[in-house]
Amino acid sequence: MNKPSAAHKKTAGDISEQISAKAQRKLHARRKGQPAVWLGLGMMGLIGWSVVIPTLLGALLGVWLDTQHPGQHSWTLALLMAGLTLGCFNAWHWVDKEDRAIAAEQARQPEDNEQNDDTKH
């Protein structure tokens, strides 16, 4: 009867590979689990507090210095800005750390799929 052409075999192989890759990604996601909403809220809270705490500490220290050593310049404003700057750098550090962890996980994921493909053969 009719034999499938080489182009048809190639298309079928491509579709088969695409389905296999999607299945592998779904299995990996199920094993790993989806991040909970609480995880995202916790991260937002962590970043928020990492900015708020240094800012408040700077303001409190500034108020204390203004009462103990009054002068021409406001310690409160200067230390409030210093605390805010420190807090923003701290938040940037946390976001950068998480971004690197996500990028590392995504870089490892294709390797996991290749290892799974190798064990099948």
Query: Cβ of 22: how many Cβ atoms within 10 Å?
Result: 10
pLDDT for the residue 79: 95
Half-sphere exposure of 15 (CA within 13 A, CB side): 6
| End-to-end CA separation in angstroms for the chain | 31
32 has pLDDT over 80: no
Instruction: Please report which helix (H) or strand (E) contains residue 102, including its range.
Output: helix 75-120
Q: Give the dihedral sign, CA 69/70/73/79.
A: positive
Q: Which of 30-39, 95-104, 110-119 has the lowest mean pLDDT?
A: 110-119
- Crossing angle of the two packed helices 37-68 and 75-120, in degrees rounded to 10: 160
